[in-house]
Amino acid sequence: MKQAVMTILIVLSVAVSAEARLQTRVVEYRHGGVVLEGYLAYDDAFKGKRPGVLVVHEWWGLNDFIREKTENLARLGYVAFAADIYGKGVRTTDFEEAAAISGKYKKDTDLFRERTRAGLTKLKSLRQTDGRYLAAIGYCFGGTAVLELARSGADVKGVVSFHGGLGTEHPAAVNALKASILVLHGADDPYVPPEEVASFQEEMRKAGADWQMILYGGAVHGFTNPDAGSDKTKGVAYDEEADRRSWQAMRNFLYRMLLQPPMKKRR
């Protein structure tokens, strides 16, 4: 009995030790005189520098949902950095306020791109990051952000949009895209109508982009966020299966885009 208890304690100790390797912290940085407050996560069980993934938040701002996604990326071996588009302390849970705050960036594409790029620059500057291997992912508002980052010609291997807006005031120029693009989209998303989807696809074709789009049948806007509830008639709802499938699609995509010599864990 005593031996069994000791074995359990050892297993628990190993599990706690492994979890303790996940390092997180708030990171302040600036853009245009505005103080921004990002969130960094990485697993120090991996040696040396590693690929970096930028994460861009929904229109609510950088919240627990995005911090969790950032930590999950870190557990996969990436340096994950959640950008702050809005500025330090600018967060909301109010629909109308979120629409107003995000609208500022949607109306000013240059500012939107520059603020997103500021997060990428900060990620690249971190001592843990291998700047040769960078990617960006985003959710809703953040999905739009990473697509604009790609359109701007940012030097990233790939971008992934989860239920993001696909329209833009400044379509990608021919051969301007350095990033491969993955769009993960709810097939029944009323906020991104078929016309917008078709326009985006035509933009990608004209630009000569390396792009792919996966549609999830029955999924609507916000399908990755449990806080969206389950009522699809509202146009925004969580879909567990689409969430699982899209995360796996992202994992496969990032693995291909950020391939480098195998990272070794400390023994």
Handedness of CA 27, 71, 90, 151 (dihedral sign): positive
pTM summary value: 0.90
Instruction: State CA 153 to chain mean position distance.
Output: 18
Say what the pLDDT of residue 261 is.
47
Q: 116-174, pLDDT tens digit by residue?
A: 999 999 999 999 999 999 999 999 999 999 999 999 999 999 999 999 999 999 999 99
- Residues 1-34 have pLDDT tens digits of 444 434 433 343 444 444 558 999 999 999 999 9
**Separation between Cα atoms, residue 58 and residue 237, nearest integer Å:** 14
Sequence-distant (≥ 6) Cβ neighbours of residue 117 within 8 angstroms: 149, 152, 154
Residue with tokens 């299966």: 241
Query: How far apart (Å, rounded) are the C-alpha atoms in residues 69 and 138?
Result: 10
Domains (range + CATH), the chain: 24-257 (3.40.50.1820)
21 vs 53, residue with greater confidence = 53
- pLDDT (tens digit, 9 = 90+) per residue, 251-264? 999 999 996 544 55
